[in-house]
Amino acid sequence: MKLMEDRIRKDGIIEDGDVLKVGTFLNQQLDTRFIRTLGEEFYRLFKDENVTKILTIEASGIGLACLCALPFDVPVVFAKKAKSNNMTGEIYASSVHSFTHGTDHTAVIPKIMLSPEDRVLLIDDFLARGQALHALIDLCEQAGATIVGAGVFVEKTYQGGGAEVRGRGVRVESLAKIKSMSVEDGIEFCD
């Protein structure tokens, strides 16, 4: 999507370690009008899927998911990142390794928030190695919910997560797909 690529070119900052900083418009400071426009694109792509819930993971996914949920008129659920691996009780839980922080967490949601009747759209800011999406998919599978797909703002295709998630049979729609990225050579988008 040209709008997204242009904004990354203008305001994205490439850091060592394969990290694209988008803090001034997508992560820490949110350009709400811009993100709502992107949410309308996800709506155009998924409007016939009878989405009942949008699922994301804290923290950076939450604001984005809320703005994307507006045209769908559905609730947003976010998985919390808990430290403990042995949580029990009325929760669904799946382990996730954080790409940016290098730490391990357990993504958890209360069981009452997802059911087999739900048709879930996953939303996240980045798709790198796919750990975050795999965890959200696991949570949906534990609940018996249907995954209609995943809407991702930025996919770094060269990190392989998108291919893996698609390999699990999940439809992934990414607004910008980065083919390669380095501090020296800048960003190349997929065609």
Nearer to ligand 5GP, 79 or 111 (CB): 79
Q: Is 122 in the site for ligand 5GP (CB under 6 A)?
A: no
**Of 2, 71, 78, 1, residue with least CA distance to 39:** 71
User: Any long-range contacts for 27-33 (C-beta under 8 Å, 24+ apart)?
Assistant: 27/60, 27/125, 30/63, 30/64, 30/67, 32/67
> Of 31-70, which residues contact ligand 5GP (CB under 6 A)?
60
**Closest separation in Å from C-beta 143 to ligand 5GP:** 20
- Terminal Cα distance for the chain, rounded: 10
Q: Is 100 in the site for ligand 5GP (CB under 6 A)?
A: yes
Nearer to ligand 5GP, 44 or 166 (CB): 166
Q: Which H helix or E strand runs over 53?
A: strand 53-57
Which of 107, 124, 136, 148 touches ligand 5GP (CB under 6 A)? 124
Three-class SS state of 87: coil
Q: Is 126 in the site for ligand 5GP (CB under 6 A)?
A: yes
Helices 2-11 and 32-46 cross at an angle (nearest 10°) of 150
Contact segment (CB under 6 A) with ligand 5GP among 17-25, 65-73, 106-114, 183-191 equals 17-25
Report the amino acid identity of residue 54: I
Residues that bind ligand 5GP (CB under 6 A): 19-22, 27, 60, 99-100, 124-132, 161
